[in-house]
Chain A
Amino acid sequence: MIKQLLGADIQATALISPDLPLRVNLTSLENIALIAQLHQHASWADASQRAQQLLSVMCADDIALKRDEDLSYMQRFVVKTARAIMLKRPLILIDRPACLLPDVFYPEVLSYILSSVHDEIPHYTIVDYHWNRPLYEHTK
């Protein structure tokens, strides 16, 4: 859905979306490192080190070897964020966080996670349903 809205700009955007799941038969670490391996032709050692670093920054060291189905919503969100960061695109777009983090008060969690990787993220936008607007105002 969001893809149609973005049109050609999709190539400049790294999406964190419920429509783009993790690869289930890879561990979190592999899911993140894969991007660097394929795009930057990094070796496994470099790519995994970088991935591990991103996870540590977001306080999620322990999930590196877990697979998608063993992750909580928040952990999955962290991995997806790390994956989006690895793409090194100018814009990171968080698509419907309400679907990504249904079991927490997500505006707070979002701001916490995004601030922890502030150095890595050039620019980000959150796309959410308009009826959730009050939630964000509450945090500010």
Chain B
Amino acid sequence: MEILLSQLGDAVIKRWRALTAMLYFGLRLLRVTFNPRTYDSATRWIIVKQVYFTAVQALPIFLAYSLIISALLIQIMVSVARDLGLSDYVPSLIVGFLLTQLLPLLSALFIALRSGAAINTEIALMHVNNELAAFEHAQIDPMRYEFMPRVIGGVVSMLALTSLAIIGALIIAFLGIYGWQWANWSSYTHSMALLLPIPLVLGVIIKTALFGLAVTLIPLKTGLEIPKRLFLVPVAVLKGMMRVFFAIFLIEVASLAFNYI
């Protein structure tokens, strides 16, 4: 019993420490981010590279994937609602389910699987390979040169990709509901606009930014946490991805609770 209790205590303390370390790391990162002196030519270039690899390179496949999913779901919603005689509620269903919940979540998963995993591996390898020590010797702050640009890139890409997916889904929804009858466009946009009050839009933006933060910050920190052993790199990736997964769902649940309770 005593052993069990001490194990439990140990587990809780470990997780608590990991969480506080993560928050502290995030805070330091924010301080670097909001320091205007940070943005010299090298840092800007790294940010550009991160945005390129996270968003631009992934753009075609991401758009294809989000548009197909949106089109399918909207088609299902429209036809089911028509069968049940509830066509009037399709727009609010699309807004409440697809636009504000599913698409941000899907893009978070997309970026987590694509870039989050890559960042986690890269940072872990960099850490094991002593490259960070070389930076330290050259008095280059890796926070500024390596970590912050990745997080900025992640958040910017997340926001950009999610908004593109949402705008795409809005157009698809119009086609799903009205077909190619562009005469209905103004009434459609009007009814959609009424379903999207500013607090909701702001909420989605904040949630998306938090997703972007979670899918980059957590892999970064987790990659740095392992001892300098090459065989522990997969462990770091595994741990980081699990944490990202929990964080994404925590944010999603929190946003749902905030919206509907």
Contacts and interface: CB of A to CB of B under 8 A. Distances in A.
Direct contact of A and B (CB under 8 A): yes
A44 B138 contact: no
Contact of A23 (B45, B131, B137): B131
A38 B42 contact: yes
Nearest to B132: A23
B129 A35 contact: no
A43 B131 contact: no
Interface residues of A, number: 24
B137 A15 contact: yes
Given A38-B140, A38-B145, A39-B139, A21 B42 contact: no
B134 A21 contact: yes
A11 B138 CA distance: 9
Interface string A28-45: 000001110111011110
Given A34-B42, A38-B42, A25 B137 contact: no
Contact of B140 (A19, A33, A35, A44): A35
Interface string B119-145: 000100110011101110111100001
Contact of A43 (B41, B139, B145): B41
A20 B137 contact: yes
Interface range on chain B (Cβ under 8 Å from partner): 10 to 19
B88 interface: no
Given A21-B129, A21-B131, A25-B122, A10 B137 contact: yes
Contact of B138 (A3, A33, A35, A47): A35
Contacts of B122: 25
Interface string B95-132: 00000000000000000000000000010011001110
A20 B133 contact: yes
B133 A19 contact: yes
B83 interface: no
A46 B7 CA distance: 57
Contacts of B139: 11, 39
Nearest to B145: A38
A22 interface: yes
Nearest to A3: B137
A33 B133 CA distance: 18
A37 B41 contact: yes
Interface in B138-195: 138-140, 145
Given A23-B135, A44-B41, A83-B138, 19 more contacts: A19-B130, A20-B133, A21-B131, A23-B126, A23-B131, A24-B129, A25-B122, A33-B42, A34-B42, A35-B138, A35-B140, A37-B40, A38-B145, A39-B138, A39-B139, A41-B41, A42-B41, A44-B42, A47-B42
Interface of A: 3, 10-11, 15, 19-25, 33-35, 37-39, 41-44, 47, 83, 87
